[in-house]
Copies of this chain bind each other. A is one copy, B any other.
Amino acid sequence: MHPNDATSAQVRAAKPLTITEQARRAQLIGVTIDLVARHGYPGTSLARIAEAAGISKAAVLYHFPSKDAVVRTAYASVLESLTEYVGAAVGSRSGASAVEAYVRSLVAYLRDHPDHTRMIVEALSEDTGIGDTPNARSRREAVAGLIDAARAAGDYRPDIDPQATAVIVNGAVDAIVSERLADPDFDSRHAAEELVTMLRRSLGTGLQDAGNPSS
């Protein structure tokens, strides 16, 4: 039996996790992110993961209960990293500034981590068996919350629909990221600024100050 079959990492800290175990898990997660980014979910087989890590299939299944568990853990790892980054950027900001920080940080993060982007894109297109983790709905709710707060703060018009607007904003951000992925020459930073400008003009009450992009 494998020593730790919990899906996510140190949940309930059942066993101390040996050095080897930690290293192998980290390595397997790394190569899996890489493989999913390069060949998509269906092209990422157990044999390929094992080969990329330089061990046998059985060794992979010694550290994880199944191939799906490897992929799910890799996905969770990516998502945790992204969430942390965006969370830090939005952080203590409020109102329209928080929404703009969300747009800018998400685009920036995904521009700098194309592998993670592919992983997330693959995960979002369901049928992969990863779909259960923090899904699109919760993301929409989070952004809708930011927009609603900006509206309540007087930064945004009172007559906008936060839910519909959240869907539109998320879609726009995703498209910018995807475009950047397909065409590295595409200036995603500039596109993000265009989007921020559009949001100010279409949602704003004209009362907030300009603010300036971070980095």
Contacts and interface: CB of A to CB of B under 8 A. Distances in A.
A136 interface: yes
Q: How many copies does the complex hold?
A: 2
Nearest to A122: B125
A107 B45 CA distance: 36
Contacts of A169: 172
A33 interface: no
A136 B199 CA distance: 24
A198 B191 contact: no
B197 A202 contact: yes
Chain A interface category by residue count: 35 or more
Contacts of A127: 39-40, 42-43
Interface of A is mostly: helix
Interface string A173-215: 1111011001100110011001101111111000000000000
28 contacts: A40-B126, A122-B125, A136-B179, A136-B182, A137-B182, A137-B183, A140-B179, A160-B194, A161-B190, A164-B194, A165-B194, A165-B198, A167-B172, A167-B175, A167-B179, A167-B191, A168-B172, A168-B191, A168-B195, A168-B198, A170-B175, A171-B172, A171-B173, A171-B178, A172-B172, A172-B175, A198-B202, A201-B201
